[in-house]
Each structure stands twice: as C-alpha cells, then as structure tokens.
Amino acid sequence: MSVIAQAPLEKATIRKAARFGSFARFMRYVVTRLATLFVTVVIGIYLTIMIANMGGYVDQIIRGEIRDRITNLIALNQAYQQMDPDTRRALIQEKIALEEKRQGLDTPIAIRNFRYLSNALQLNLGRAINMTSDSGSKQVRLIILERLPATLLLMGISQLFLFFSSVFIALSLSRHYGNFWDKLVIALSPSSSVPPWFYGIFLILIFASAFKVLPFGGMVDSPPPSNTFDYSMSLLKHLALPCASLILSSFFLSVYNYRTFFLVYSSEDYVDMAKAKGLPSRDVERTYILRPTLPSIITNFSLLIISLWTGALFTETIFLWPGLGRTLFQAIGLYDIPIIVGSTIIYAYMLAITVFLLDFVYALVDPRVKIGQ
Amino acid sequence: MKLKKLYGILSVLVVLSMMLAACGPATGTAEATEAPSSMTAEPTEAPAAQVPQTERHGGWLDEIDVSVVDGASAISQIQAGAIDFYSFTLASDAYPAIKESGLSTTKSVGGYYGISLNPAVFTDTNVLNPFSNRKIREAVNWLIDRNYVNQEIYAGGSLPKLFTITTQLTEYTNLIDTARALEAKYAYNLDKAKEVIDAEMPGMGAELGADGKWQYNGKPVSLIFLIRPDGDGTRKPMGDYVANQLESVGFTVDRQYKKSSEAFPIWLGTAAKDGQWNLYTAGYTPGGFPRDEKALFQQGYLNTSIQASEPFISTTSDPEFQQLGDDLAQGHFSTKEERDSMMARALELSLEDSLFVWVIDQQTYSPYSNDVQVTWDLALGAESTNVGPYNLRFKDQEGGVMKVGTNDLFTQPWNTVAGSNWVWDAGIFRATSQGTSNIVGGGGLMADPYTGLAYPQRIDSAELTYKKGLPIKQNLDWLTVNEVDQIDVPADAWVDWDAKTQKFVTAAEKYPDGLTANVKSVVVYPEDLFDTIKWHDGSSISVGDFVMSMIQGFDPGKPDSPIYDESLAASIDATLTAFKGYRIVSTSPLTIEAYTDAYNADAELNILPLWPISPFGLSGENSWPILAISNLAEAGGELAYSSDKSDANQIENTSWVGGPSLEILSKYLEQAASESYIPYEPTLGQYITADEAAARYANVQKWYADHGHFWIGTGPYYLDKVFTTEKSLVLKQNPEYVDLADRWAAFSQPKLASTVLDGPGQVTAGEEAVFDVTINLKDTDQAYQNSDIRLVKYILYDTTGAVASVGEAVEVGDGQYQVTLSADETSKLQTGSAKLEVAVVPIPVAIPSFTSFDFVVVK
C-alpha cells in the first residue's frame, strides 16, 4: 500500500487555497447578506412611506385640513370681515396655495415618495411638516434626539429588568416544574393579553389618585429640581408607574415563555444522559441547558435592545412621558411623514445590522454554525 | 388546596378591580340654565379696585408652576393636590364628575355642533337628495329634541342651540324676543316634521312605501350621513340620534363613521352635487368673545361665505336672505335699530334656509381647587382671559406657589411675529404682558371678561371720532366719542413703510389727493409711562419700543426688506387695505392718533392704542432689542419667524425660549451690543440713542445669562425658567410692576344674576294679572343693583307655546321688578296652561338670567 505524502509546499498551497476559499465564501456571504438586507430595508421603508401617506390619500386629507384651518382663521379675524367677498376669497386661495406649497403638496406624490426614500436611506432625515421639537426645531434629527434619552431610560429600565428577571425566574421555575409558583405563573400568563397602558390606568388610579404616593405622569416634578440628586430621585419617582405597567403587562407571559423554552431543552436526551452520569446539576444547567439556548437568548436580547428605540406609543401617551413613542403617536395623527420615516429608517438600519451581526455571534457561541455554509 | 389559594388571590384581585371601577364618576343632574347678556345701553363707570387692600405689586402669587397634565386626570390630580388649577378646558361631559368631586370650576362657551345638510340636486338623477328642498331642511329642526341631546349626551352641561349666533350671549340677548319666539316655534315636534316631509316628498317624486320608507325610482331614499366619532366623542351619539329621528320619518340612513381626516375630503372636498354625502356632523369653535356676530349668516349659509368651498358655494339661498346676510356682513346699515331689525329677520330666514341645523352650544369647564380664585372669560375660557393672571390667587392669601396644569406647552416656537398662537402658550404670554382688549391692536386696554368690552389699563384718555352714519355705539364713559361728516388723514400721518429707505411713507407721499378714514382714535398715555413701565430685564419702556412695533407690522411684508416673508406679506397687504395711518402727535405725554376704515359696533373696541405687542394678533410683547437681534438673525439667513419661511429656506424657526435659536440669537446679541446697533436707524435713530441701545442690550445680555431665554415682557409675572422637554415652566411675581395686585379685583367674580318669578297660579282671561320678579346676585341673598340691570323683559306664551306678547317689567325696588299683564293681553289667552318667562339682562355680565312661571288660564 503506497502512501502519497504531501510535500510541505503543497500543504501550504492547499491551506492557502482553503483559506482563500473560506474568505471568498465569507465575503460572498457578507456581500449577499448585506445586499439582501439593504433591499429589504428599501422595500420596508417604501412600504412605510406608502402606508403613511395612504397611497396618496393623505394629500386629500391634508388639503381639506388646510382649507378648513385657513378659512376658519380668516373668518375669525376681524380685520378681514369687512373685506369684500372676492378679495377675501382671493386672499384665502393665496394662503391655501402657500400652505400647500410649504407642505410640499405642489410636488407630485411619486416624486415626493422617492425623495423621502432617497433621503431616508442616506439618513438625511430632513424637516418635519407640522411638528416641532420641544425646543422649537423642525429638524427631524433634533426632534428624535430630544426624545431619545427619555425613551431609552423608560424602555431600557423596564425591558432590561423584564428580560433578566424573566430569564432567571424562568430558569428557577424550570428546575421546580409543577410547584405552586410554576402553576401561578401559568395561571397568570393570560394577564399579558392586557396592554400596558391599561395597567397604567389602574396603577395611576391606585398609586397616584387613591394613595397619592406617586405622580400621575410626566418625567420629573414641576419645576424640575435644580440639583442632580433631587432630579434623579424625581425621575425615579416618575419612572415607577410607567415602568411597572410595561413590566406587569409582559412579565408572566415572558417568564412562561422562557420557562417552557428551558423545559424543552432540559428534557433533551443528552441532558438526561448528563444527569444519569451524575454531573452536578449546576454543570448540567450551565453546559447542557443554557449553552444550547444561547443563540435564542442572544437573539431575543438583541432585538430587545433595538426595540428600545421605538418606545411605547400608548404607555408614553398615558403617562405623558416625553419619549419617542409619544412623538411617533403624534406624528401618525398629524401625518407627519418625515418623522414617521425618520423613526422607521433608524429602526430598520439597526434591525438590519443586528440581524447581520447575529449571524456572526451565532457562529461564535455555537460551533455547529458556520458562516456562509 | 393550592388551587383554592390561587382562586382566593384571584377573587381578591377581581373584587379590587370592581371597587376601583366603582370609584369612577357618577352621572349628575343638569344645572339650571342661565341666560346671556347684551349690548349695554348707557355709559357706565369703569371697574376699579375700591380701596386698595394690599401693598403688593404685580401678581398675587409668588410663583406659578405650569406643567402639562392629561385632561382625563385633571380632576383626580386636583383632588390629590398634585395641581391646584387645570387651566385648559374640559368638555361638558366632564361636568358631572367635577360636581361630584366638589371642586370649583369655570364655565365658558366652547365649540358648537350642528348638522350640515347638502343643499344640492344630485347629478345622478336616480338619487334624490331631500335636502335640496329648503322646506325639508327646515323640518329637520322639528325632528331634533335639543334638550334631550343636551341631557343625554352633554350631561345637561351645555345649551340647546337653534341659531348660528351664540346661545344666551350678547347677540342672542339683544334679539331676545325674536330668539325666544323662534325657539318656541321650532321646539321639538316630530309630528310637525313628519307633516312637512310628507307634504314635500311626493312633490319631489318620492313615494312612501308600504314599509313606511320613502322610495324614489323604486329604491329607498338613502341618506349618507358622515358621522364623526373623533374629537370629544359627542358627535357620534348626536349623529346617531339624528339618524334615528330621520329613520323614524321614513328615510333610510347610511351611517358612515369617519374621522375628520376622512370626512373632510368628502364634506369640503367633493362637489355637493356629486352626492357623496347628505348630512355631516359639523363643529366649530369661537375665535373671540362673540359680541358682534352679524357676519355669521353669510359665513354659515350663503354662497358668498368666507368659507369659499363646498357645500357653501353650491347653495342657492332665498334672495332676501342672501341680500340680508351680505349686507350684515359688509356692515351695510346705518343705525343700531336697523341692524337689530336686519338681524331679527336674518334669524328667521336662517331657520327657513337651514343649510346648517344647529344642535348644541357646548359649555366648557376648567376645574380648580376650592381655595383658589380664578377669573375667566365667559366666552373664551380661563387661558384666553387677559385679566386672568392678574387675579389668579389663593383665596384670602397673598403669595404662595400655585401648580397649574394645562394641555400642552411649547407646541410651536415662541416669538411674537409668527410664533405659537396655541391657547395654552398664549395663556403664559398673557401672564408676562400688559392686558389687551379682545381686538387685534388693543394693547394698553384690558378686556372685560364678562362683556367683551374693554377698559383702559395703560392710557390716560382716549377720543374716538367716527364718520357719521356708522352704527357705532358707546357703552362706557372712559372715552370721548364724536361723530363727524368726514375724517381727513393728516398729511404727515404714517400710512405705509418703505423698506428700502427704512422710513415711513406719509399720507401726503402716498395719497397726494388726500385720504379719508372711517374712524380716528386718539390715545394719550400717562405722563410717567416711560418711568413706571419696566421690561422684565430692568429697562424702561421707550418710544423706540412703540415705533419698532409699528415697523415690525409692515417690514416683513415688503419685498425689499431683508426680513421679507411671503407668508406674512398677504396678511400685511390685507391689513393695509383698511389701515389709514398712525401719527405720533407728542412723545411727552405720548399721544398717538390711529386712522382706519375697519370699525367695530362698540366704540370702546375702536380705540387702538399702540403698544409694543405683536402686530399680527398674537399675544406677548415686543422689546425692541429682541426684535432687533431676531431681525438680524433672519436677515442673516439663520432664523425665520414663520414656519413657512423656515421650511422654505431650511433654517430654524425663531424661538425666544429654546432650541438652536438661542445660540444664534445670543451670537447676534453680542454683535448688536458691541456695535450699539440701532435697527432701522433712518427712522428709529430719532427715538433711540446709542447709549440707550447699549444699555438695553446689556440688560438683555444679563437677562439671558440669568434666565436662559429671551422672553421679556412688562407684565405682572416674568418667565423665570423654561424646561422644554419636561414641558414645564416657572413664572415669578414681578415686584416692579406698576399696579397693585388688586388693580382688577372688580373682575374677580362675574356678577351673574339669579331670578325668581312669582304670581297667581290662576289667571282669568280678560283680567289684569301681576307677577313679582326678584333678582339677586347668583348664589347669594343680595339684591342685584338696579343700576346694573339693563332690562327686564317678559315673554308671555299662550297655551300652544307660541309667543302671545312681549313687554318690559317695571322696577319697584332694589332687585325687585313687577310684570303686569294687562286685561287686553290676558284676554288673548285660551283656557289652559300658559307660561310667563322673564329675561333679566345685566350690564356687568354678558349672560342674562331666565326664569319662567306656569299658570292656568280660566274664563
């Protein structure tokens, strides 16, 4: 039997070729993946624009509102009442035309849509149509940036607390499957069908209205305390109810989900085998249960982090929390497309980047996953 | 066992939920209807604080903390002590909850609702529009039980509305005989409505089917009803009620629930003849104290309406009504009597036309804690009350910190040229400014919150001259009024502005052949004006502030100006069509003449004292250095006063309280201060010295360093701190304010009247009958002063509810009047139950008091 031995040079060449092949495969994957994600973002944003302006129907709505607002303004202004009807009508028409121009209604909808899309993709967020930032600017970038800290604070605290407490409690419950607390969580999990704003109303009734121990809404006391410590305390006091409502509305279902998830993994054959081998339960949990669940948990955590961006539309509104959710809620009501698109494009980019990076993270935490295969 | 425990816990949660739900507001009973007021007949004394009760200057409170509060929780927040006063208004459906809570409340006119009817004959000849028939439109009035709507939908807290004019306010009271007679005529009467519809429909080609439904060309007569479920939510049940009533007389109703954004394009955006709608639940809000509503007939019914859109342009009115409505709107009458008679006839014709069938005049409420004293405008609500901040206080207490909640703050950037005009923002502006009348340009006056008239605040004397024949009436005696054949505008009066030369254009230059005006007002300011009135930054007010404000009213409309703004130009040009000139007669004391062709029916509201306030009708005052640096920033292309210009040029909108504007303004402030810059120097150089300019800029710099914003006024409170993201602000008392805190104490509470009518329960037809009228100040036993009563009118209704006679009661004592029905009057009554109604029209408030007495007529 003859053995063909490879020369060192050949080995290096093969290794190099293999490395190059891997790199090419990797690059091909990266380019394809990025292109796919970009196309998805483009389609998503265009659909958002189309939905936000209802395929052009919003133009009709805005034209009607402009006419109504301007005629009423003129009608209520005494300076115009003795003006002859024809002059007044001409003036109204002139003001309507000016306002329509200001809102961009003199440009065809298709052109506007592509302009929105192109600007959005370049992260040129532009100017709002009707809304202004609290400090008076119409730049969408400033409107979003002004509200971002409040949203990150509220969503960050509530969602991170929700995530970590759910995972740890679920893990504990999965260890004690069928005990009282496990059954209680199962029984209470339908409570998550109630939206957070509904809990918010209840919590306001109990803690603000009846017990008078927490504020009804807002972000800080009025006027806001001047020193940092008092300001922080005031902030925490105002955070309590909105955070509680966000946590309460998802807590039991979230624990239930993770608990079921862990239970599924803990009933795998290899876990039984590990237990049968007499491995300590801590090792079984860490190596045989938690490790395989990591990709899913990391995915959930990553999506949770980017979901902080969107804020909580109704909860922020109920608690007058000056966050992005409330801004988006107002923008939808006012058909302020640049703000809707601005908020969406940032989310879309963050989502795309997260999805892209997750592929690499999966490969890092799970040896079975190979990039590009 | 575990399950039992679990059920136990769940049961406790359910019981807790039910208990909390039971804590919700219960429905309450309606308050007795009050009545409105009228134009006062005789000149009366201006209200003044009697003997000064305080040494305190400026506002009563040390500090007012304003923040944004959700209206839905306003009552709970006051009860919990989180706020003391919710200054924005709540709709009348909140009234029972306010009563239940035991809190105090303001009560003022809110929006009004009605049904807009499509008057067109549809292009599709297979579809019948019954409302193209005026008689059927008129019949809809009988279909609607407005009292039912008020009780069931508005918790009895609003007023049934039949007319386009505001129910139970100035015009209504002025036309009380006609109004009450028409209300009796158009009272709910389903049979009458059906009778008219049954008589008219066959003539239009419809026939009543066996199922009791109207048919046209073999198909049911279906009415498309656009019902708005949004807003305060009351239009939906109102629309449903009207739809039910229409169905009860044989129509088929297609109820289409659409939000404003969906309904507007159909209601206003489609041709009425296209037949995309038949009825729409319309709603409007008043724009000011409605003392003069003569233009409403044209606005609401005629094809010459200011709302030059569908369905108005598609309506064809009765020629008499068209002429009357147009004449009233254009002021084509020469005496008050002629105007009243035209208004009375127009009321009648408007109901026969019924392009709109009005249903409800909403009343709105602002709740406040019982230890708080609030002054509010009966027509505009607390936040729009000019005197409101002056009188806001804790009862029997000087000082203190008041927590005020409102609906929003900083909705748009704050500047006085084209900035925020939102009612909550304007409420703050009022606290930092001198008072104004409710008329644009009425600075230096204070609006009476109960009548809509005005009193002098910062002027010494005023004289009004008007062209003979104009229907102008003097109500108060603080001004002198003259009537002349012709008013010539002096040659040196400033009639326009030349942006290139930066000088005013005189009458002689622009009108070499001479110029006349309808009205001339001459205002003399106090001798010590420039010593006593200080801006919040410590500077004294100066002639420069007055002249700068004048210039600011013209310059943005001139294409040659570096601050030209297309969006303001149209308004400035429109104002110039009536404006005829200003003339500074003297600067010590400051004396300014104003000439204009625009006039108001009330003499007091034609006095136009110049004051450094917004020339564009916004609230807030203009310190000239602030305008100067803002103009520099606008000329430099970095900021724009209006959102239109800022959008067009992609630059920031000028805000004097926050955002990127502050840094830009600060930069220009440094520049102006370093140069002692005098704006519009060819003109203002005559009034402002370089030293004054330097001192003024230095004061603004210090102010900005201390407070971080540029909002500077002269009012009883100054804006101390602004928190734009937190949506709150702090107002502090201005101890340097010239007036004592009780300057407007006479306006603390409205002098509403309550009336009791008593007399025989049985009246013999053909015999005289006497009834006693007792008038007290509302909620007291104190008799209403007869000198404060303009008129006590009685209206006798016969057994059918129609008006049998109208007359005036006779004064018999303090707050005591007597109605004597003559033998002749009673002889016209049939046997049965008749009614006597009395309307008391007080002078100090625009709301009359009504009461009635039922009696039996026997032969």
Helix (H, G, I), strand (E, B) or coil at B717: strand
Q: Are residues B704 and B755 in the same domain?
A: no
**In whole angstroms, what is the distance from residue A113 CA to residue A109 CA?**
6
CB-CB under 8 Å, B574 with A224: no
Q: Rounded to the nearest 10 degrees, how much is the dihedral formed by the CA atoms of B597, B598, B604, B605?
A: -150
pLDDT at B185: 93
Compare B275 and A363 and report the one with higher pLDDT. Answer: B275
Helix pair B235-248, B134-143: axis angle to 10 deg: 110
Structure tokens at A328: 């988006």
Average pLDDT of chain B to the nearest whole number: 90
Q: Are residues B210 and B357 in the same domain?
A: yes
The answer, for B762 touching chain A at a CB cutoff of 8 Å, is: no
Interface contacts (A, B; CB < 8 Å): 220
pLDDT at A369: 75
Structure tokens at B368: 């406040």
Q: Which of the four pLDDT bands, split at 50, 70 and 90, describes residue A81? A: low
**Residue A259 — φ and ψ, nearest 5°?**
-60, -45
> Each residue of A28-75: pLDDT tens digit?
888 998 999 999 999 988 898 888 888 777 787 778 778 777 877 777
How far does the CA of residue A144 sit from the closest CA of chain B (Å)? 12
Question: What is the arithmetic mean of pLDDT over B447-471?
Answer: 93
Percent of chain B with pLDDT over 70: 93
DSSP B520-531: EEEEE--TTHHH
Phi-psi region of B452 (alpha: psi -120 to 50; beta: other; left: phi over 0): left
Phi-psi region of B582 (alpha: psi -120 to 50; beta: other; left: phi over 0): beta
How far does the CA of residue B51 sit from the closest CA of chain A (Å)? 36
pLDDT at B24: 38
The answer, for B786 touching chain A at a CB cutoff of 8 Å, is: no
Q: Are residues B698 and B769 in the same domain?
A: no
> Each residue of B621-663: pLDDT tens digit?
999 999 999 999 999 999 999 988 998 898 999 999 998 999 9
Instruction: CATH number of the domain at B764, please.
Output: 2.60.40.1930
C-alpha distance from residue A226 to each of A217, A223, A231, B724 (Å): 19, 9, 7, 15
Q: Which of B288, B398, B302, B262 is nearest to B740 (CA)?
A: B398
**In whole angstroms, what is the distance from residue B193 CA to residue B246 CA?**
10
- The tokens 């807003």 sit on which residue? B231
The answer, for B4 touching chain A at a CB cutoff of 8 Å, is: no
**In whole angstroms, what is the distance from residue B806 CA to residue A41 CA?**
76
Give exposure, B34-43, as e/b (b: 16+ Cβ within 10 Å): bbbbbbbeee
> Each residue of A94-141: pLDDT tens digit?
888 888 887 788 888 888 888 888 888 888 888 888 888 888 888 898
How far does the CA of residue B58 sit from the closest CA of chain A (Å)? 21
Helix pair A337-365, A291-307: axis angle to 10 deg: 160
User: Which of B322, B344, B363 is the endpoint of a domain?
Assistant: B363
Q: Which of B841, B859, B838, B858 is nearest to B850 (CA)?
A: B838
- The tokens 């008239």 sit on which residue? B453
Q: How many CA atoms lie within 13 A of B425 on its CB side?
A: 24
Total number of residues shown for chain A: 373
Q: Running DSSP on this structure, what letter comes out for residue B409?
A: S
Range of the domain at B128: 110-287+353-363
Q: Which of B245, B259, B477, B289 is nearest to B380 (CA)?
A: B289
Contact, B737 vs B74, CB < 8 A?
Answer: no
Q: Residue type at B425?
A: D
Helix pair B624-635, B543-554: axis angle to 10 deg: 40
Residue B48 pLDDT exceeds 70: no
Which chain B positions have a beta carbon within 8 Å of A98's beta carbon?
Answer: 566-567, 570, 644
Structure tokens at B524: 């003399």
Which chain B positions have a beta carbon within 8 Å of A136's beta carbon?
Answer: 410, 412-414, 652-653, 655, 657-661, 724
Residue B20 pLDDT exceeds 80: no
**In whole angstroms, what is the distance from residue B306 CA to residue B303 CA?**
9
Q: Which helix (H) or strand (E) holds B284?
A: strand B279-284
Q: Residue type at A141?
A: R
- Is residue B702 in a domain? yes
Contact, B389 vs B59, CB < 8 A?
Answer: yes
Q: Which helix (H) or strand (E) holds B184?
A: helix B176-185
Residue B597 pLDDT exceeds 80: yes
CB-CB under 8 Å, B329 with A68: no
The burial class, CB within 10 Å (0-12 / 13-18 / 19+), for B761 is exposed
The answer, for B14 touching chain A at a CB cutoff of 8 Å, is: no
Number of structural domains in chain B: 3
Residue B766 pLDDT exceeds 90: yes
Q: Are residues B769 and B702 in the same domain?
A: no
pLDDT at A58: 79
User: Which of B650, B674, B708 is the endpoint of a domain?
Assistant: B708
Structure tokens at B124: 């599709």
Q: Are residues B673 and B796 in the same domain?
A: no
CB-CB under 8 Å, A82 with B598: yes
How do strand B579-587 and strand B590-596 relate by DSSP bridges? Answer: antiparallel
How far does the CA of residue A170 sit from the closest CA of chain B (Å)? 20
- Is residue B38 in a domain? no
Residue B800 pLDDT exceeds 50: yes
Which chain B positions have a beta carbon within 8 Å of A210's beta carbon?
Answer: 20, 23
Structure tokens at B91: 């709709």
Which range among A52-61, B18-27, B139-148 shows the weakest confidence by mean pLDDT?
B18-27
Q: How many CA atoms lie within 13 A of A354 on its CB side?
A: 16
- Is residue B772 in a domain? yes
Contact, B217 vs B270, CB < 8 A?
Answer: no
CB-CB under 8 Å, B65 with A88: no
CB-CB under 8 Å, B657 with A102: no
pLDDT at B34: 36
The answer, for A68 touching chain B at a CB cutoff of 8 Å, is: yes
Q: Are residues B700 and B577 in the same domain?
A: yes
Q: Which of the four pLDDT bands, split at 50, 70 and 90, describes residue A8? A: low
Residue B28 pLDDT exceeds 80: no
> Each residue of B295-352: pLDDT tens digit?
899 888 998 887 767 888 888 899 999 999 989 987 888 788 899 999 999 999 999 9
> Each residue of B699-754: pLDDT tens digit?
999 999 999 999 999 999 999 999 998 899 999 999 999 999 999 999 988 899 99
First to last CA, chain B: 84
> Each residue of B579-591: pLDDT tens digit?
899 999 999 999 9
Q: Are residues B485 and B612 in the same domain?
A: yes
Q: Are residues B475 and B556 in the same domain?
A: yes
- The domains located in chain A, with CATH, are 10-121 (no CATH), 146-365 (1.10.3720.10)
How do strand B728-733 and strand B63-68 relate by DSSP bridges? Answer: antiparallel
The answer, for B1 touching chain A at a CB cutoff of 8 Å, is: no
C-alpha distance from residue A220 to each of A211, A225, A228, B543 (Å): 19, 8, 12, 43
Angle (CA) B656 B658 B659, round 5°: 120
Residues whose CB is less than 8 angstroms from the CB of residue B824 and which lie 6 or more positions away in sequence, other chains included: none
Helix pair A228-266, A196-203: axis angle to 10 deg: 130
Q: Which of the four pLDDT bands, split at 50, 70 and 90, describes residue A9? A: low
Query: Which chain A residue shows the shortest CA-CA distance from B577?
Result: A83
Percent of chain B with pLDDT over 90: 70
Question: What is the arithmetic mean of pLDDT over A310-330?
Answer: 88
pLDDT at A7: 63
pLDDT at B292: 84
Q: Residue type at B711?
A: W
- Is residue B3 in a domain? no
Contact, B325 vs B317, CB < 8 A?
Answer: yes
Contact, B458 vs B529, CB < 8 A?
Answer: yes
Of A79, A183, A212, the CB nearest to B2: A183
**In whole angstroms, what is the distance from residue B59 CA to residue B79 CA?**
25
Q: Which of the four pLDDT bands, split at 50, 70 and 90, describes residue A372? A: low
Question: Taking a contact as any Cβ pair under 8 Å apart, which residues of chain B between 713 and 742 contact chain A?
Answer: 721, 723-730
CB-CB under 8 Å, B65 with A223: yes
Q: Which helix (H) or strand (E) holds A62?
A: helix A57-76
Q: Which of B198, B188, B190, B195 is nearest to B221 (CA)?
A: B198
Residue B311: cis peptide before it, omega within 30 degrees of 0: yes
- Is residue B198 in a domain? yes
Structure tokens at A370: 């190979």
Q: Rounded to the nearest 10 degrees, how much is the dihedral formed by the CA atoms of B229, B234, B239, B240?
A: 90
CB-CB under 8 Å, B643 with A102: yes
- The tokens 């044989």 sit on which residue? B250
Select the residue from A222, A231, A319 to test the B interface by mutation, using most B Cβ atoms within 10 A: A222
pLDDT at A82: 65
Question: Taking a contact as any Cβ pair under 8 Å apart, which residues of chain B between 96 and 115 contact chain A?
Answer: none
Structure tokens at B95: 């009234």
Which chain B positions have a beta carbon within 8 Å of A59's beta carbon?
Answer: none
- The tokens 């030209």 sit on which residue? B564
How far does the CA of residue A339 sit from the closest CA of chain B (Å)? 15
**In whole angstroms, what is the distance from residue B362 CA to residue B157 CA?**
8
Question: What is the arithmetic mean of pLDDT over B152-170?
Answer: 90
> Each residue of B258-273: pLDDT tens digit?
887 778 778 877 889 9
- Is residue B386 in a domain? no
Which chain B positions have a beta carbon within 8 Å of A85's beta carbon?
Answer: 298, 304, 306, 308, 326
What does pTM read for this prediction?
0.83
Q: Are residues B629 and B689 in the same domain?
A: yes
Q: Which of B101, B106, B103 is nearest to B25 (CA)?
A: B101
Q: Which of A134, A168, A131 is nearest to A150 (CA)?
A: A134
First to last CA, chain A: 36
User: Which of B652, B683, B708 is the endpoint of a domain?
Assistant: B708
**In whole angstroms, what is the distance from residue B216 CA to residue B121 CA?**
14
Angle (CA) B588 B590 B596, round 5°: 150
Compare B40 and B231 and report the one with higher pLDDT. Answer: B231
Q: Running DSSP on this structure, what letter comes out for residue B739?
A: S
Of B309, B331, B647, the CB nearest to A102: B647
Q: Are residues B589 and B468 in the same domain?
A: yes
Q: Which of B292, B371, B391, B475 is nearest to B741 (CA)?
A: B391
Average pLDDT of chain A to the nearest whole number: 85
Helix (H, G, I), strand (E, B) or coil at B503: strand
CB-CB under 8 Å, B403 with A102: no
The answer, for A178 touching chain B at a CB cutoff of 8 Å, is: no
Instruction: CATH number of the domain at B156, please.
Output: 3.10.105.10
Compare A317 and A78 and report the one with higher pLDDT. Answer: A317
Question: What is the arithmetic mean of pLDDT over B436-460?
Answer: 88
CB-CB under 8 Å, B658 with A94: no
- Is residue B489 in a domain? yes
CB-CB under 8 Å, A84 with B647: no
- The tokens 């701190």 sit on which residue? B721
- Is residue B809 in a domain? yes
pLDDT at A18: 72
pLDDT at B32: 34
Residue B4 pLDDT exceeds 60: no
Q: Cα Rg for chain A, rounded, in angstroms?
A: 28
